[in-house]
Amino acid sequence: MTKRVLILTSDMGFGHRSAANAIDTALRLAYPSLQTQIINPMDHPKVPSFYRDNPEAYDVIVKHMPEFYNFTYRAVDHPLTSTLVENVNTTMLIEAMLDILNDARPDVIVVTRENYLSTLWAISKFTRRRIPVVTVVTDLGTVHRIWFNTVSAITCVPNRRVYEVGLSEKMPAERLRITGIPVHPRLAAETRTQAELRAELGWQPHKTTVLIVGGSRVKNVREAAAVLNHCNQDVQLAVVAGGDDALYHDLQQMEWHVPTVLYNFVQNMPQLLKASDALVCKAGGLMVTEGLACGLPILLIDAIEGQETGNVEYVEDHGAGAFITSHLMLLETLYDWLSDGAAGLALRAERARQIGYPQAASDIAALVYGYAVGALALPAASSREQRERKPTEDLRTWLGKFLNDQRT
């Protein structure tokens, strides 16, 4: 009988969807007998329209109201606030999630966004059915407590720091696993040498190469490119605008003083990363994780306060990069990295490599497969759970009582 895997994700930020795609690809490659499906529950018609994902509004708030975003992001992690958020999530999503589960009939559920966990926990109480849930945390440092929910058979975390957060939130150690954040299997599959990749890309073969990655959500890309264009070092630049047409146009109008290759939108990021020597980017979990998985020292030119602060700290604490706060600092940091020749960059590259997890998607896929075929067992149900029976009330009546019990 075909085993089904349901992957629940979100389109608020790129990291949730990218992690879902990476796991889905790893499952299809390693376990083709499994049937996989990726769904964003926020797209379901039973979710109120005002509550659905709105990436455009997210972009506006992050860009133009960063202090407000930081305040709300941190406020959500307060114990009282997080309980309220979980209750609201459950109320808004439970009917949609029940429909999704009834249609998909999954043997395993993978979750790459924390907002779904409380709803899945409530559904497990209402239906009295325990489906293995594999939760994948998609931030390197600053993580909300609602990521850690006992509905999860296993919670995959990116590093020791987040593992310790899970323990502090009373998650049993045996239900936490350090895997790294999943990156697309193409990164691990790309084994050509740097020289081979540069030849294919048309880059100069022997110059130190700095890859700059931008996009509509990234500030300071134009300025960073302009500064490095005058860095007076033996470098070449590869600049990706990330589909930001205005940025790409501006880059095309610049007079370049170092060898530079411009791209608007690319689908061969693994090749670009592995052909480069250093990365300049925003402190988003996805890009940082991909850079580390490729062993690239990272110059972080932008970060969302609160959400991405932990990513910055993680990179800096391990000596794998630096957070850049001025044009002068960008020049000084790169000069410092290059001042010792190849050895200086190689040292930082090794530090990046030590905290990168290029095999994370495959490792998580192995866990998912184990739960799907029964090789991995669910944590034992509590004695109370064993005694409880499926409720006879309708969903809304039961949900009201359930949430009231949670508050008390």
Q: In CATH, what number is assigned to the domain containing residue 30?
A: 3.40.50.2000
Residue 102 shares a structural domain with residue 124: yes
**Closest by CA position to 370, among listed 31, 19, 17:** 31
Residue 10 shares a structural domain with residue 37: yes
Measured CA to CA, the distance from residue 353 to residue 21 in angstroms comes to 23
Residue 198 shares a structural domain with residue 304: yes
The pLDDT score that the predictor gives to residue 278 is: 96
**Closest by CA position to 142, among listed 17, 315, 365:** 315
Residue 205 shares a structural domain with residue 277: yes
Range of the domain at 308: 187-354
The pLDDT score that the predictor gives to residue 1 is: 84
Measured CA to CA, the distance from residue 211 to residue 380 in angstroms comes to 48
The pLDDT score that the predictor gives to residue 73 is: 58
The pLDDT score that the predictor gives to residue 66 is: 62
The pLDDT score that the predictor gives to residue 259 is: 95
Which distant-in-sequence residues (6+ apart) come within 8 Å of 275 by Cβ? 194, 197, 198, 201, 203, 209, 211, 238
Alpha-carbon separation of residue 264 from 300, 367, 401 (angstroms): 20, 37, 53
Supply the DSSP string of 85-124, one letter for each residue.
HHHHHHHHHHHHHHHHHHHH--SEEEE-SGGGHHHHHHHH
Structure tokens at 256: 């370049």
**Closest by CA position to 348, among listed 205, 268, 186, 356:** 356
SS3 of residue 406 by DSSP: helix
Residue 59 shares a structural domain with residue 127: yes
Residue 196 shares a structural domain with residue 167: no
Predicted structure pTM score: 0.89
Beta strands at 208-213 and 235-240: parallel, antiparallel or unpaired: parallel
Measured CA to CA, the distance from residue 114 to residue 144 in angstroms comes to 8
Beta strands at 260-263 and 278-282: parallel, antiparallel or unpaired: unpaired
Q: How many domains would you assign to the chain?
A: 2
The pLDDT score that the predictor gives to residue 311 is: 92
Residue 233 shares a structural domain with residue 296: yes
Averages of pLDDT over runs of 10 residues in the chain (408 residues) are: 95 87 97 97 92 64 57 63 84 94 97 95 92 95 90 96 94 96 92 95 95 89 94 90 94 95 95 97 91 96 86 94 94 89 86 94 98 92 69 81 71
Residue 275 shares a structural domain with residue 148: no
